[in-house]
Every structure is written in C-alpha cells, then in structure tokens.
Amino acid sequence: AKPHLGAVAGCLSDDDSDVRAAACDTLGKHGEAAEQYLDAISDCVKDAEPRVQIAARVALQKHGKVGEGDAEASAQYLEHKDWETRRAACHAIGSLGQAAVPHLAAVAKHLSEPPCIAYDARCGDNADFAPRVRAAACEALGRHGEAAEPHLGGVALLLQDSDPTVRKAAYEALQGHIEARRQAVVAAVEAIRAYDPYGSILKLLDEMSLAR
C-alpha cells in the first residue's frame, strides 16, 4: 500500500466525507511512510463533517501528534444524531489515551444504545445500526484498562446481546481486562516468592482462601 499513499492523501480533499474519513484512517495506519501527509491530515481536523474531524484526530494520535483538546472535541459527538458519528466518537475515545478517560462514562451509555433504524444500501432495506454503536462502545472501554472497570458490568451484559458482533466485542473487551488481572496476580505471586522463599505467606493466603 505504501506506493499508493500519495493517492490516498489526495482523497483527503474528496467531495465525499466518507472517503475523506477513510483516507485519514488509512494514513493513520502507515507510520513513518505517511508522515509527509500529516499537515494535510491536520487540515481535516477543521473539516465540516464531524466524522472526518474525528478520523483526522485519531490518525494524528497514531503518529504521536495528540492535541490538548482532542478527546474533548471528539467526545462532544457522542450524542450526535448520526449513528456513524456516535460510533466514530466511541472509537476515538478508545484511541486517545489517558486524556479520554473522563469521557468513559459517556461512552458506557452507548452500551445500551436504543434501536436506530435507517436505510442500508447494501441490503436495499431498513436495518438497525445500534449494534454497531454498542460494539464500538465495548471496544473503546476494552482499551482503557483499570479506568474502565466501573463499566465492565454493562459490557458483560452484552455477552447476551442478540447481535453476534456485539457479543464478540464484549468478549474481547472483557478478555483484555481478565488477562491484565492475571498478569498482575502472577507478578504479585512472583514478588512474594522473592521476598518469602519458604512460601509461608503464600501458604497463609491459601489457607485464608479455603476458610471463606
């Protein structure tokens, strides 16, 4: 794809906002090879279409260019009337690091995204797009480690969601948290062993667990 990045960058000024957003997303994934286009991506932060703004901020973040107000600017679109914009805002909060943590509660509200019926050109009929927003909310929360723990109960409920994409997103979000917890426990046990080579502390902890 690298030889074609110039053509992709040209799409940043396309008349179609979906194309502009996709170009930002693509350039955000190509590291050093796309750095010559960062100024053009930065111009998209001022785009009239919120989804393009969000995509540009996320792309710049992937290149280490995080603006002071990027998380807040993206979070303002979490309640946008357009479902694609709400989904994009969730993805952005999942990507923008520590600065986005204050907005996790707002993302968690979308775990219960109500039905959003709109025309789907792919099937030529109306469809419910709410599952895509719920899945994006799961993914965003899954990327924030301990900061998202107050909202994991809501994520767990989506393991029973009627949409398989949402169930998969919920599972993966929870799996990440469980793995992080497992690694923390392993590190703690190793630290205890180093301090207590005879295992008396671990034996006591085991006895306390059995006594419950």
Quote the DSSP letter at residue 118.
E
Q: Is the pLDDT of residue 124 over 80?
A: no
Q: Give the percent of the chain with pLDDT over 70.
A: 87
Predicted TM-score of the model (pTM) = 0.79
Name residue, tokens 């170009």: 23
Burial letters 168-191, b for 16+ CB under 10 A, else e:
bbbbebbebbeeeeeeeeeeeeee
Q: Is the pLDDT of residue 203 over 70?
A: no
Angle between helices 164-195 and 130-142 (to 10 degrees): 10
Res 4: pLDDT = 87
Q: Report the SS3 class of residue 119.
A: strand
The string of pLDDT tens digits covering residues 50-98 is 999 999 999 999 998 877 789 999 999 999 999 999 999 999 999 999 9
Of residues 64 and 184, which shows the higher confidence score? 64
